[in-house]
Amino acid sequence: MRPSFGRERSAVAVAFLIGSTAFLSMPADALTEVEKLRAELAAAKDQLSQTQDELGATRAALDSLTKRVDAMEAAPPPPQAPPAPPPAPVAVAPAPMAETTARILPVNADNPAISFVVDTELSSDTQDSWESIGYANGVNFSLQNAELFISAPIDPFLRGYASINGSSDHGFDVEEAALVTTSLPWNLTVKGGRFFADFGRLPHWHDEALPFVNRPPSIDRIIGGESQAEGAEISWLAPIEHFVQFTYGVYNTVGADNTDDVNSNGFFGRRDWSDLNMLGRVQTYFDLTDTWNLEVGGSWLGVPHSSDRNLWGTDVTFRHQPGTQGFYQGLVWGTEWLWNREKFTERDDTGAVIGETRDHRNGGYTYAEAFFGRRFSAGVRFDYSQSPDDGKDTANTISPFITWQPSEFQRLRFQFDDTWGDEQTNQRFTLQWTAFIGSHSHGFAQR
């Protein structure tokens, strides 16, 4: 609103008129007084003039402001600028180059990584007895596996890991405790200690990593459970575009439950260098298409003297990995076949050799597993095996299974095993519940 100056001007004019009237109405003898008043009037005039000047300056300033306001009101609105982005949720680091090459976890995740697996199950057998591939327990709750897994780099040249297990059947055991080199030249890696020897595919997988509730019976019978061994391995990755890996190993014996091949002089005898088990393996991989791939491996395990044993194995794995969109999310078809050639010696009560047989026993499994909706998978496994020391003891098992993972760290699996053979018959239902505490991974070998 524009201010008014009429009131001030009127007041000055009235004052001036009153003063003039008073001066004209004075008698002549009052001249001195008149002069005095005249001086006062002059001072008042000066003051009035000064006030008018100040009022004028103020009016000019106000007029200028008024014009600017009017101009702004009359002007069209400025064009709408695109909405400014909110402050970036980032902080640009100072200019110098980073002193580190990677973010490091704030927790002590790498030194060492610790995890614990609880693998428990409820099973029910229809038969009271079951021959050499297992024992029927009727209805049975069991701790299949409780595994404490620790791994860490030791220095720039070495890493170590250990797997300490407990179970209802085997008690506590150091399943693995091994050292692995990390920076040998020429793509070489050396492993030493107690570990799962690199034979085949599933023989060196930990129980909780298997796609089934149990290890295939053929592996249990011919290798003796997982390929646990004490010894040393050297492996070499061919430095070419195509994946080819070779492994050579020397061990006391191979197979967690294997009591054969201890030495050449009987169970309590002395082990010679020539009694050591030796292993060779080659594996390769092909990307058949963008989504189909094939992995092939061949293994040999030799026990030179005690039983002149040669165990050959081949494993083939097809995978369909179309990505993770949609309900169907992939397929795995895995097959492994073992040929065992072994000398068995018959002795009399005095320990004298009375005869030798050289037996050929075979076994293996094949399975297919399909993955659905990120959390489900279902499959079926068929297994055939001969007992290494009894060719008439054959077993066939067909095992459909279904798995549900409520999260990445928990799994429920149901499996039905129907076993039949010359000396085997059983049906078993198993519900397995597995959970992982901590950062659990056995790495590339058990992918």
Partner 1 sequence: MASHSARHWIFGCILTLGLAVAGPAAATLRVVASTPDVADITAQIGGDRVSVTTIAEGTQDPHKVPVKPSFVTKLNRADALVVQGLGLEHAFVPALSEAARNANILPGAPGYIDASLYVKPLEVPSSQNRTQGELHPLGNPHFNLDPEQGRLMARAIAEGLERVDPPGAESYRAGLAKFNQKLDQRIPELARIAAPLRGVKAVSYHQDLIYLANRYGIDLVGTIEDKPGIPPTPGHLEDLLATMQREKVQLVIHEISYDPSVGDNLAERTGAHVATISSMAGGLGKPGYLDSIQANLEALVAAVRAASPS
Q: Is 81 near partner 1 (CB under 8 A)? A: no
Our CA dihedral for 34, 36, 37, 43, rounded to 10 degrees, sits at 150
For residues 368 and 399, is the Cβ–Cβ distance under 8 A?
Answer: no
Q: DSSP assignment, residue 266?
A: B
For residues 246 and 393, is the Cβ–Cβ distance under 8 A?
Answer: no
Q: Candidates 68-76, 96-104, 348-356, 418-426 — which segment interacts with partner 1 by CB under 8 A? A: 96-104
Q: Rounded to the nearest whole angstrom, what is the least distance from the CB of residue 223 to partner 1 in the complex?
A: 20
Q: Is 86 near partner 1 (CB under 8 A)? A: yes
| Among positions 138, 266, 269, 326, the unique one binding partner 1 when judged by CB under 8 A | 326
DSSP 76-106: PPPP-PPPPPPPPS--PPPSSPPS-SS---S
Q: Is 11 near partner 1 (CB under 8 A)? A: no
**Non-local CB neighbours of 248 within 8 Å, separated by 6+ positions:** 233, 234, 235, 278, 279, 280, 281
Q: Candidates 34-42, 62-70, 79-87, 357-365 — which segment interacts with partner 1 by CB under 8 A? A: 79-87
CB burial string 26-64: b at 16+ within 10 A, e below = eeeeeeeebeebeeebeeeeeeeeeeeeeeeeeeeeeee
Q: Is 271 near partner 1 (CB under 8 A)? A: no
Q: Is 237 near partner 1 (CB under 8 A)? A: yes
Q: Rounded to the nearest whole angstrom, what is the least distance from the CB of residue 228 to partner 1 in the complex?
A: 21
Nearer CB in complex with partner 1: 295/359: 295
Round to whole Å and give the CA distance between 192 and 179. 5
The 239-268 site mask, x for binding partner 1 (CB under 8 A), equals: xxxxxx-x-x--------------------
Q: Within positions 137 to 176, which residues make up the interface with partner 1, using CB under 8 A?
A: 156
Q: Rounded to the nearest whole angstrom, what is the least distance from the CB of residue 444 to partner 1 in the complex?
A: 4
Residue 307, Cα to own-chain centre: how many angstroms? 43
Nearer CB in complex with partner 1: 16/372: 372
Among 235, 107, 138, which Cα is nearest to 178's?
Answer: 235
The 292-311 site mask, x for binding partner 1 (CB under 8 A), equals: -x-x------x-x-------
Round to whole Å and give the CA distance between 393 and 424. 8
Q: Candidates 127-135, 191-199, 222-230, 315-323 — which segment interacts with partner 1 by CB under 8 A? A: 315-323
Nearer CB in complex with partner 1: 279/395: 279
Round to whole Å and give the CA distance between 415 and 398. 10
| Among positions 30, 68, 373, 420, the unique one binding partner 1 when judged by CB under 8 A | 373
Residue type at position 377: S
- Tell me the three-class secondary structure of 310-343, residue by residue: EEEEEEEEEEECCCCCCCEEEEEEEEEEEEEEEE
Q: Is 409 near partner 1 (CB under 8 A)? A: yes
Residues at the site binding partner 1, with contacts judged by CB under 8 A: 82-83, 85-86, 88-93, 97-98, 100-107, 109, 156, 182-184, 186-189, 236-244, 246, 248, 274, 278, 280, 282, 285, 287, 293, 295, 302, 304, 319, 321, 323-327, 373-375, 406-409, 441, 443-445, 447
